[in-house]
């Protein structure tokens, strides 16, 4: 049986902070990118999967439905997984569909006209903020904001919308 060591929301998906800082500090051997648009775009999916040639971990790209099926079929096999979501919505829907994770690091979410900053480098809509509260309250997930393992950590309870 595999294990989910870490879950992170990062609008940039795989980049230097994820590839070095978070992968090294969480004991993973595979990053599961869970993002429907990326998984449904053959070119982008190929780009992300091919990044594994540069790192000491594997990379797999899934839609929400596919990652739920992978969990249900074999609980991620022998992988020690970091679930990596492009946005809070994908994290929320993945957990709601039954993929169990105990922590959710929100590390980067870009500012748009429809959201506002709630922590360093994290801009959310009110609906996304409520999804995080629901993950914390209903699923007992430790939700926190932190850009890098060496940066200060802010718990969801310390943030308001």
The CATH number of residue 13's host domain is: 3.40.35.10
Cα separation of 133 and 27, whole Å? Answer: 27
pLDDT at residue number 140: 97
CA distance 60 to 29: 11
pLDDT-based confidence at residue 27 (cuts at 50, 70, 90): very high
pLDDT attached to residue 22? 86
Contact 120, 17 (CB under 8 A): no
pLDDT over threshold 90, residue 62 = yes
Q: Per the confidence metrics, is the pTM higher than 0.75?
A: yes
Q: Which domain holds residue 151?
A: 3-158
Total domains in the fold of the chain: 1
12-29 mean pLDDT: 86
pLDDT at 108: 86
Q: How large a percentage of the chain has pLDDT more than 90?
A: 84
> How would DSSP label each residue in 23-62?
HHHHT-SEEEEE-HHHHT-HHHHHHHHHGGGGSSSEEEEE
The pLDDT value recorded for residue 20 is 80
């Amino acid at each position: 049986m595999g294990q989910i060591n870490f879950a992170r929301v990062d609008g940039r998906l795989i980049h230097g902070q994820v590839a070095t800082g978070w992968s090294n500090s969480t004991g993973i051997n595979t990053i599961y990118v869970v993002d429907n648009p990326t998984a449904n775009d053959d070119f982008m999916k190929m780009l992300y999967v091919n990044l594994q040639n540069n790192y000491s971990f594997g990379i797999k790209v899934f839609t929400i439905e596919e990652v739920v099926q992978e969990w249900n079929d074999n609980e991620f096999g022998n992988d020690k997984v970091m679930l990596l979501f492009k946005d809070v919505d994908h994290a929320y829907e993945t957990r709601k569909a039954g993929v169990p994770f105990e922590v959710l690091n929100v590390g980067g979410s870009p500012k748009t006209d429809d959201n506002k900053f709630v922590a360093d480098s994290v801009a959310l809509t009110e609906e996304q903020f409520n999804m995080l509260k629901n993950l914390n309250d209903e699923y007992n997930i430790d939700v926190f904001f932190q850009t890098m393992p060496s940066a200060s950590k802010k718990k969801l309870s310390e943030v308001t919308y």
